[in-house]
Chain A
């Protein structure tokens, strides 16, 4: 333990983190219970404990990623509940959350990922390039700088995560289970890297939680936790002395409360009876899997006997998972054969599926279902008799110690317990064969031992075949046979003892590393310390300059640039947004015809004289109506109106012609289908007009000069759109609709996606402010939408031949304001939704209805009533519809339209401000 000064602008202090009575609850579950603890600075502190004891919660509190509920958390000499202090110190803290590459952006390359973090911390280009080059070289990632992060192996992802964390020279590095799910070679390299970095940057404190006890031995100081409390805190040697044990594994078990320790017993696996080998359960025969040019699995063959425990070892990305997927039928093999119980693997064979239990590497159960519901669902799906189900579930809950969390949602549970749940689910139907892909990654030693006792029991007593992949050497040693895989090939396949003997190594781990190093020809360079020692004063001065700014354009642009990159990596999204707008415009502008014509009508003519037929002909002759076969009687009339065949039915009474000539009052009956009121209204207008026209014609014919000529003339001037063409009216109105819906959807999803997939954590723990985050994410979508606007105008003018008569700059200025507002609507929606489904539905609901119905697209806003009128007056689309129509059809420019631009401009700060206010900067 040392008390070296931490950063030049700080008083020398002995403790980097001080916790006082810190508590945390998730609903009814108590995650942390009155923790009081001081962590020494300048050294490597390890956090040990079973799953679910609150290690991750504690780390996220220290990192400032989570809201402090109870107690006081002091980090780097200040209170983490204080937002100003958090803003001050977060550039000095680096946090790597649990889960492989959880805070990385999978479509971005290695370089771009690190570059993004560099920008977030405000480094200039030169500085970034120097640091990134240095870090990539040291981590051995330099050769993969252009590879997308999503395509890296687990170990490389963690190294990249480390680069991202170290880019800003933190004083405090927080690593949450950084090596879980990483193979031994990569793990060794990872810790060497940490050692090198610590050697260079004197005084950096590191807090790590880990499930690997052998790793814990190299830490300076250990904190053992259980059930939300601290059991003890000491150096590893003290810990061994305290407990009187020789290994940390044992020490940890010794520290546990009695009732938990009682559950623990060493794993004893009785030797297999040799005769069982005759019966082959799994057989892989020259299995090969190619993805394009890449051969993931290369000619792999093995046979596993019934009841055997067969271990699968290998670095991340070596093809273990792919092989397992081929055996389960999830992936069809490119060549070769896989057989289960002597049958070829057939993805459609339900009978075989019932005999196999499979657990995939990533947690793949339903996070929306409780533990109990997950177990029930799987029991039912595997066809367990309902009567037996509760007992089986209880049995599983007991075996995997899930009894206490049956009503919890998996998301609220730590990784280790989630893994146990996955196992319980895989075993609920008592399968004859278990295929387990890294089942114990992230599971603590006690639970792992318990799990292996179950496996031993299943194998030896129930003769269940177990095919398991693991990174833990002590687990590998328990297998009957193991295979070492590397780069798609099996290096060696034998009993653990034989493998150790072949390599003349002392442990399996050494043998394993020896095989791997031989296979890779040591291409992965052992990280070498690079000369990066810098003057401490320089560092301090630099930090002062780059910090404590409320608004930093560089951080904002960091998000913009990253979002733009992601957009570019997803060309389908950009293409859909662009081509989609054009297609939609085409369809709607042609299809949305407000000029009602082709209306169907029929006549019930009871007179049937020349004059009555003349009346019907007058209507049929207009361009609005199409005549249908005459109506026979009232029943016919009723039927044909009910099925919607007729929009208009006319009844001409008997004696119509005779009465008319005698000047007697006659009446024509007309029924209009009122189901569509606007159409009915139009029909009414047309019929009245035609009727009047016919009358005046007849009057001149019948009455001659006695007839009154029209008293006055009404000159109608249809302005702006002399032909009253729907297209001319609709095309400019459709543009606002399209510039609303697509940009708002994209903006909303871009934020909620980060929430759902976990990278939002970077926003929580880096100095980026809410405004920078939101506006930064918004800019690329504004640019995309603006280019769409140009495209749509061009399309309207060139393809639809809609004249553009007004000022184009005014239109574009308005479009800029408008799309900023519409993406702002998306951001606002994203701030209160947490799932992408909800965000999508909310965006559709909150944009389509107001835009189509309340924004003057069809009915002018002035004619709306009630809530619709209010929404119409504040909704940005209203104003942009007026501007679009004004600039397209009315030859207007900024002088006439500025009053319409003001509300648009005003909407922007309101929307973004509300979005920023509602967005949370910490997890609850």
Chain B
């Protein structure tokens, strides 16, 4: 294996990329605008949840409840009639509909424990639980405030002092920005190496390389370093300028450590890209294969659903995927400020997965060239 060949072939890859202006535009878009808007659009956890209220009581108690729902958690409640409620929920206009029964206030004061009805659109799982919890606590505090004016009651005095660490205000935008960065890293690194390889075959240039004194491992390493470098440069830019700069997301841990981890991750994903290319005969097949691999990788990496909430089988399978470890590593370093002493496990996993993918791809790649 000759370093000079790897360097030269890698430079060739970089030059090829420069010749595709649309691709450059897309890369820049993916690592700036897409991350920025993606992060800015992220709803805070319970943001503007739509709620409608059927007020059949029309008492001071019920109006007290109605005025308690405010942005940003809830959109201003819309007062509707009972028949309207079903139609609006069917059309997905309201996620929550609260029905305050007639004589609510009277029954409340008479200690009859009146029942409020809360309808929840459970197809919107993400808001259903948290929203219901919020609504319950709003109702409890409003009702007890209301009653305090009329009587007092004894209660246990235990405060729960809840604090979030690492992202005190639980800003979804921070999380979203890092998340989009990670998914773009994955997407781009696989597309760049895999599609470039198919393109070489479709244009017959691969065959040409093979009559020259270069080995398959040199060709593959050249693709890995050059495309990895492009993605690494784009990520550094995105992290420094877009995420830390424009979006003002605090970076807790070491940049260098994160970039080193990213480099290790890129080693794995670019190898994966080459492997996929060796399995696909044509570009359309590669495109489909890409979807087949990319979607589960992105959705099951632990950013959408926390890993611990996944079925055990999927959780175990996903341990073999490089981005599971990358996501853990990135969250630890960037948000929790973890050092190498904490994330060395992820580094080791990425290294092992990357090496296996590389060795496997190299074998397939040799066959692909035949």
Report whether A859 and B126 are in contact in the complex, using a CB–CB cutoff of 8 Å: yes
CA distance A732 to B122 in the complex (A): 13
Chain A residues whose CB sits within 8 angstroms of the CB of B299 once the complex forms:
587-588, 591-592, 852
Min CB distance, B87 to chain A, in Å? 7
Report whether A716 and B120 are in contact in the complex, using a CB–CB cutoff of 8 Å: yes
Min CB distance, A34 to chain B, in Å? 31
Report whether B296 and A695 are in contact in the complex, using a CB–CB cutoff of 8 Å: no
Chain A residues whose CB sits within 8 angstroms of the CB of B331 once the complex forms:
644, 675-676
User: Is A689's beta carbon under 8 Å from chain B?
Assistant: yes
Which interface class (under 10, 10 to 19, 20 to 34, 35 or more) fits A?
A: 35 or more
Report whether A712 and B288 are in contact in the complex, using a CB–CB cutoff of 8 Å: no
Report whether A837 and B172 are in contact in the complex, using a CB–CB cutoff of 8 Å: no
Report whether A720 and B123 are in contact in the complex, using a CB–CB cutoff of 8 Å: yes
Min CB distance, B122 to chain A, in Å? 4
Q: Which of B260-303 contact A (CB under 8 A)?
A: 281-292, 294-296, 298-300, 303
Chain B residues whose CB sits within 8 angstroms of the CB of A332 once the complex forms:
370
Chain A residues whose CB sits within 8 angstroms of the CB of B18 once the complex forms:
368
Report whether B160 and A670 are in contact in the complex, using a CB–CB cutoff of 8 Å: yes
Min CB distance, B107 to chain A, in Å? 8
Q: Please, which residue of chain A has its CB at the minimum distance from the CB of B200?
A: A366
User: Is B64's beta carbon under 8 Å from chain A?
Assistant: no
Chain A, 390-429, contact with B by CB distance < 8 Å: what is the 0/1 string? 0000000000000000000100000000000000000000
Report whether B165 and A674 are in contact in the complex, using a CB–CB cutoff of 8 Å: yes
Report whether B296 and A699 are in contact in the complex, using a CB–CB cutoff of 8 Å: no
User: Is B113's beta carbon under 8 Å from chain A?
Assistant: yes
CA distance A348 to B212 in the complex (A): 10
CA distance A644 to B332 in the complex (A): 7
Report whether B309 and A597 are in contact in the complex, using a CB–CB cutoff of 8 Å: yes
Report whether A362 and B295 are in contact in the complex, using a CB–CB cutoff of 8 Å: no
Q: Which of B8-67 contact A (CB under 8 A)?
A: 8-9, 11-12, 15-16, 18-20, 22-23, 26-27, 29-30, 34, 37-38, 40-50
Chain A residues whose CB sits within 8 angstroms of the CB of B306 once the complex forms:
596, 599, 647, 676, 679
Chain A residues whose CB sits within 8 angstroms of the CB of B212 once the complex forms:
353, 378, 381-382
Min CB distance, A508 to chain B, in Å? 30
Interchain CB contact (< 8 A) of B290 among A364, A583, A840? A840
Report whether B113 and A677 are in contact in the complex, using a CB–CB cutoff of 8 Å: no
Report whether B139 and A749 are in contact in the complex, using a CB–CB cutoff of 8 Å: no
Interchain CB contact (< 8 A) of A718 among B15, B128, B175? B128
Min CB distance, B182 to chain A, in Å? 13
Min CB distance, B222 to chain A, in Å? 10
User: Is A201's beta carbon under 8 Å from chain B?
Assistant: no
Report whether B30 and A845 are in contact in the complex, using a CB–CB cutoff of 8 Å: yes
Chain B residues whose CB sits within 8 angstroms of the CB of A729 once the complex forms:
122-125
Chain A, 710-722, contact with B by CB distance < 8 Å: what is the 0/1 string? 1111111111111
Interface 9-residue window, one of B191-199, B239-247, B348-356, B357-365: B191-199
Interchain CB contact (< 8 A) of B305 among A594, A712, A721, A899? A594
Min CB distance, A482 to chain B, in Å? 23
Q: Which of A858-904 contact B (CB under 8 A)?
A: 858-860, 862-869, 871-872, 882, 885-886, 889-890, 892, 896-897, 899-900
Report whether A596 and B9 are in contact in the complex, using a CB–CB cutoff of 8 Å: no
User: Is A688's beta carbon under 8 Å from chain B?
Assistant: yes
Interchain CB contact (< 8 A) of A674 among B8, B170, B296, B342? B170
CA distance A834 to B23 in the complex (A): 10
User: Is B236's beta carbon under 8 Å from chain A?
Assistant: no
Q: Which of B100-149 contact A (CB under 8 A)?
A: 108, 111, 113-130, 132-137, 139-140, 143-144, 147
Chain B residues whose CB sits within 8 angstroms of the CB of A568 once the complex forms:
none
Min CB distance, A607 to chain B, in Å? 12
Min CB distance, B82 to chain A, in Å? 14
Chain A residues whose CB sits within 8 angstroms of the CB of B9 once the complex forms:
377, 381
Chain A residues whose CB sits within 8 angstroms of the CB of B196 once the complex forms:
837
CA distance A684 to B169 in the complex (A): 12
Interchain CB contact (< 8 A) of A675 among B75, B187, B314, B336? B336
Interface 9-residue window, one of A307-315, A484-492, A538-546, A739-747: A739-747
Chain B residues whose CB sits within 8 angstroms of the CB of A666 once the complex forms:
157-159
Q: Which of A571-611 contact B (CB under 8 A)?
A: 572-573, 576-577, 580, 583-584, 587-588, 590-600
Min CB distance, A639 to chain B, in Å? 8
Report whether A641 and B90 are in contact in the complex, using a CB–CB cutoff of 8 Å: no
User: Is A669's beta carbon under 8 Å from chain B?
Assistant: yes
Report whether B282 and A356 are in contact in the complex, using a CB–CB cutoff of 8 Å: no
Min CB distance, A326 to chain B, in Å? 12
Interchain CB contact (< 8 A) of A892 among B5, B90, B198? B90
Contacts A595-B125, A835-B20, A860-B124: A716 and B132 contacting too (C-beta < 8 A)? Answer: yes
Query: What is the total number of residues of chain B having a CB less than 8 Å from a CB of chain A?
Result: 153
Chain B residues whose CB sits within 8 angstroms of the CB of A833 once the complex forms:
22
CA distance A286 to B294 in the complex (A): 49
Chain A residues whose CB sits within 8 angstroms of the CB of B157 once the complex forms:
663-666
User: Is B4's beta carbon under 8 Å from chain A?
Assistant: yes
Report whether B158 and A668 are in contact in the complex, using a CB–CB cutoff of 8 Å: yes
Chain B residues whose CB sits within 8 angstroms of the CB of A467 once the complex forms:
none
Report whether A714 and B116 are in contact in the complex, using a CB–CB cutoff of 8 Å: yes
Contacts A377-B8, A377-B12: A715 and B116 contacting too (C-beta < 8 A)? Answer: yes
Chain B residues whose CB sits within 8 angstroms of the CB of A885 once the complex forms:
92, 123
Contacts A587-B296, A866-B37: A886 and B163 contacting too (C-beta < 8 A)? Answer: no
Q: Please, which residue of chain A has its CB at the minimum distance from the CB of B99?
A: A715
Min CB distance, B168 to chain A, in Å? 6
Q: Which of B300-346 contact A (CB under 8 A)?
A: 300, 303-306, 308-311, 314, 318, 328, 331-332, 335-338, 342-343
Report whether B113 and A711 are in contact in the complex, using a CB–CB cutoff of 8 Å: yes
Chain A residues whose CB sits within 8 angstroms of the CB of B286 once the complex forms:
840
Chain A, 674-687, contact with B by CB distance < 8 Å: what is the 0/1 string? 11111111101111
Chain B residues whose CB sits within 8 angstroms of the CB of A732 once the complex forms:
123
Chain B residues whose CB sits within 8 angstroms of the CB of A684 once the complex forms:
162, 164
Report whether A591 and B305 are in contact in the complex, using a CB–CB cutoff of 8 Å: yes
Interchain CB contact (< 8 A) of B40 among A674, A865, A882? A865
Q: Please, which residue of chain A has its CB at the minimum distance from the CB of B120?
A: A718
Chain B, 209-222, contact with A by CB distance < 8 Å: what is the 0/1 string? 01111110000000
Q: Please, which residue of chain A has its CB at the minimum distance from the CB of B151?
A: A708
User: Is A14's beta carbon under 8 Å from chain B?
Assistant: no
CA distance A402 to B262 in the complex (A): 43
User: Is B202's beta carbon under 8 Å from chain A?
Assistant: yes
Min CB distance, B250 to chain A, in Å? 12
Chain B CB within 10 A, most for which of A742, A863, A865: A863
Report whether B207 and A360 are in contact in the complex, using a CB–CB cutoff of 8 Å: yes
Chain B residues whose CB sits within 8 angstroms of the CB of A642 once the complex forms:
332, 336-338, 342
Report whether B20 and A591 are in contact in the complex, using a CB–CB cutoff of 8 Å: no
Min CB distance, B121 to chain A, in Å? 6
Q: Which of A618-644 contact B (CB under 8 A)?
A: 626, 639, 641-644
Report whether B314 and A745 are in contact in the complex, using a CB–CB cutoff of 8 Å: no
Min CB distance, B19 to chain A, in Å? 4
CA distance A673 to B302 in the complex (A): 15
Interchain CB contact (< 8 A) of A742 among B8, B124, B285, B291? B291
Min CB distance, B296 to chain A, in Å? 5
Report whether A381 and B8 are in contact in the complex, using a CB–CB cutoff of 8 Å: yes
Min CB distance, A107 to chain B, in Å? 10
Min CB distance, B28 to chain A, in Å? 11
Report whether A711 and B165 are in contact in the complex, using a CB–CB cutoff of 8 Å: no
Report whether B160 and A570 are in contact in the complex, using a CB–CB cutoff of 8 Å: no
Chain A, 322-336, contact with B by CB distance < 8 Å: what is the 0/1 string? 000000111010000
Q: Please, which residue of chain A has its CB at the minimum distance from the CB of B19?
A: A368
Min CB distance, A365 to chain B, in Å? 7
Q: A593-B311, A897-B91, A900-B91 are in contact. List 16 more A-B contacts (CB 8 A).
A: A350-B215, A366-B205, A383-B2, A570-B282, A584-B296, A591-B310, A598-B308, A639-B342, A668-B158, A678-B172, A680-B170, A687-B160, A721-B125, A841-B27, A858-B126, A859-B127
Can you give 7 A-B contacts (C-beta < 8 A)? A354-B213, A573-B284, A643-B342, A677-B172, A726-B125, A865-B47, A867-B40
Q: Across chains A and B, which 6 residue pairs bring their CB atoms closest together, nearest first?
A: A868-B41, A674-B167, A674-B164, A685-B133, A721-B122, A708-B153
